Structure 1
Amino acid sequence: MSEHSWMPSSPCGDRCIPRSAESIRRIGVVVRAASALFAIGLVPLLILIGLFWPRVRSGAAIIGARVLLAAVGIGLRVEDLRSDREASRTRNGSLVVAGHVSWTDILVLTAIRPARFVARGDLVEWPVLGLLARSMKVIPIDRGRLRALPGTVDQVSATLRDGGSVIVFPEGTTWCGLAYGSFRPAMFQAAIDTETWVQPVRLRYVDSFRDRTTTSTCFVGDETIGRSIGRIFRLRGIVAEVALVAPQAPGHDRRDLARRCEDSVRADDVHDRRLHPINERVDIDPKATFTRR
């Protein structure tokens, strides 16, 4: 994969993964694996239900994601901090943005509100998540091909224009959860072009035994998806905490929109600069890559 100035990168690696996380016994891992296989087997059925009864499609996706999340062993806690008026602004479609820690983020966010995802192109080939990704019609992004970026933004715009919702991880890559990267502005152009409100989401994983943010679920460094799944299956007491905060108006400047959403998502976070450096905000010349509608 070729690199360029836009290429997202993270300094997080194996050292970010705690060695003393609470774990379950082998029999528990077997039970979780069996539960996950059962949940995966339900996905085609849920897809068929969605095809024949579109009105229950969203509910079917939520059920599938929650069953898989439970099989993985991650609890879910959701807090809606929006007023009724704020919530109504994203009821008929929105660009949803969140920080990116792990492949489990997809399960967590789908368990709350199903939407299309912008995700790495090889996601459909992954075990467990591949089938879910195909059923959700993931919008693939090739981070190594800068020229393909405008086409991805156009696909996001088309979905938003049709009244759908799209989930984007603007950091462009995963971080450990105690350190994080800046929100890249590129994908926010789709919200501006379609005059769509943006829904920022605060997402963190908590070790319920220590009552603090944990990096146990992070998918960083050279770890393979198989090793990550096996490691996360053994964790105990992990809860995904999600907070829905006030939506942001699209405005006219994607840099400003990205900054507002990042500030909203990171309002309660304290980045330890001794742990990792903070990436500089990087943008692309809009005249070279985007055409205003």
Structure 2
Amino acid sequence: MPALMSPDTSGLACPPAAPVHAWMPVSPCVPSCVDVRPQAGRLRMVARIAAVAGLLAGFPAANLLTPRPLRERMHRRGARMLLRACGFRLRIIDLRGESATPAGRRGRRSRDRRGLLVVSAHVGWTDVVALAAMDPMGFVARGDLIEWPMLGGLARIMRVIPIHRERLRQLPEVIAVMSERLAAGERVGMFPEGTTWCGRAHGSLRPALFQSAVDSGAPVQPVRMRYLDAAGELTTVPGFVGDDTFLDSARRVLRSRGVVAEITLLPIEQPGADRHELARRCEQAMRGEEVLDIDAHATAVGSGPTRAIVPDRAGVAGIG
């Protein structure tokens, strides 16, 4: 991927996006941003396809046969197995410290736990699997996800909240469903950038869906999601951008090798009374302190008057 831009380079790392309405952002990333050579051999890929198909085919029956109190554990284990079958490893870095209540810590549950809104950047469909492998939750996801091959059945079991970004009139209904689930003590994951990015660039967080946390009083868990290759460098393998099809993306994922899905849990944010201010706090937490050096390699983010330059490498030890 031509993601590095120096002062002698003309053009952006990704082509600029066409202007659209504020709640339906378009990422400037396109399939050419995801320029990754296949690494896994044909036999390995066939084995992965068989493993993924077997897991997805057996998951509905396993869900029905598992007692309800044990389903969360089964869902987490199933998501981890699915991620491993895709060739990805999972790394979780917990930076929450004292902001995580006992009910909010992994492995320590209470029956009256508060709901939690989990907020993450969005690279591709593997984000959902990685977050579910960390902690089972419902997701706000594109409306056609339940029709996708392989993942559609899993999405229905995970109680995906479908959203069609082009239908603005549907937004209050989606927020109401999210608020209801959060008030009931459930976890809900969302990707407030409103679209996918290649994994090196990122978009701004849209505040609309944060209203569900304000309405329900649920705390918000910002998550820093990134994917690393075997050398520890950012990789665009999971990118699902532009006019990519699901099969295009799945092929890249299944032919990859040594990819790590890294999830950093940041200090929990309280909802407050203003969704715009809440979105700003979460975005600041997710991006961290970005010290820019225009003379060094950098990544172009956004287009036109909103264009920004951010460092190509994100920090060290998973906290950049």
TM-score, normalization: structure 1?
A: 0.88
| Contact 1:179-1:275 at 8 Å conserved across structures | yes
The 5-angstrom pairing of residues 191-270 of structure 1 reads 191-208=213-230, 210-267=231-288
SS in 1 for 2:300: coil
Matched ranges for 1:90-105 at <5 A: 90=104, 92=113, 93-105=115-127
Residue of structure 2 in register with 1:274 after alignment: 300
Three-state SS of the structure 2 residue aligned to 1:236 is coil
SS of 2:181 mapped into structure 1: helix
1:199-241 per-position Cα deviation (integer Å, ceiling 9, x unaligned): 0111100011x32111111000111001111121000110001
* Structure 1: runs of 5+ lacking an equivalent: 281-293
Partner of 1:73: 87
Count of residue pairs brought into register by the alignment: 274
After TM superposition, list the pairs within 5 Å mapping 1:1-293 onto structure 2: 4-20=21-37, 23-50=39-66, 53-88=67-102, 90=104, 92=113, 93-208=115-230, 210-267=231-288, 272=298, 274=300, 276-277=302-303
Tell me, yes or no, if the aligned pair for 1:90 and 1:247 is still in contact at 8 Å: no
Give the AA of the match of 1:244: L
Contact 1:177–1:204 under 8 Å retained in 2: yes
1:266 CA displacement: 1.1
- Gaps in structure 2 of 5+ consecutive residues: 1-19, 106-112, 293-297, 307-320
Q: 1:244 to 1:197 in 2, by over 3 A?
A: same
Answer yes or no: is the 8 Å Cα contact 1:160–1:194 preserved in 2. yes
The alpha carbon displacement at 1:275 in A equals 5.6
Deviation at 1:4, TM superposition (A): 3.6
Read off the aligned partner of 1:65 and give its amino acid letter: A
1:55 aligned partner, one-letter code:
P
The secondary structure found in structure 1 opposite 2:189 is: strand
- Aligned amino acid, residue 100 of structure 2: E
Q: Using a 3 Å threshold, how does the CA distance of structure 1 residues 195 and 6 change in structure 2: closer, same or farther?
A: same
The alpha-carbon deviation at position 129 of structure 1 amounts to: 1.1
Per the TM alignment, residue 83 of structure 1 is displaced from its structure 2 partner at its CA by 1.9
Task: Give the aligned residue type for 1:24.
Answer: A
Contact 1:62 1:111 in 2 (8 A): yes
**Larger displacement relative to structure 2 (91-100 or 108-117):** 91-100
Note closer, same or farther for the CA distance 1:12–1:81 as it changes in structure 2 (3 Å cut).
Answer: same
Change (3 A) 1:229 1:184: same
Mark the CA change 1:157 to 1:265 in structure 2 (over 3 Å): closer, same or farther: same
The percentage of counterpart residues that share the same residue type is 46
Query: How far off is 1:37 after superposition?
Result: 1.2
CA distance in 1, matches of 2:54, 2:291: 39
Question: Which stretches of structure 1, 4 residues or longer, exceed 3 Å deviation after superposition?
Answer: 87-91, 268-280
Give yes or no for contact 1:78–1:241 (8 Å, CA) kept in 2: yes
**Amino acid in the other structure paired with 1:150:** P
State whether residues 161 and 174 of structure 2, in contact with CA within 8 Å, keep that contact through their aligned partners in structure 1.
yes
Q: Which moved more, 1:6-15 or 1:157-166?
A: 6-15
- Post-superposition CA distance 1:131-171 (Å, at most 9, x none): 11000111010101111101100000000011111000000
Aligned partner of residue 274 in structure 1, secondary structure:
strand
> Equivalents in 2 of 1:240, 1:279: separation in Å?
32
Letter in 2 for 1:80: D
Q: Name the CA distance, whole Å, in 2 between partners of 1:25 and 1:180.
A: 31
Distance 1:49 1:172 in 2: 36
User: CA 1:184–1:168 in structure 2 vs 1: closer, same or farther (change >3 Å)?
Assistant: same
CA-atom RMSD in angstroms: 1.9
C-alpha separation in 1, matches of 2:291 and 2:264: 17
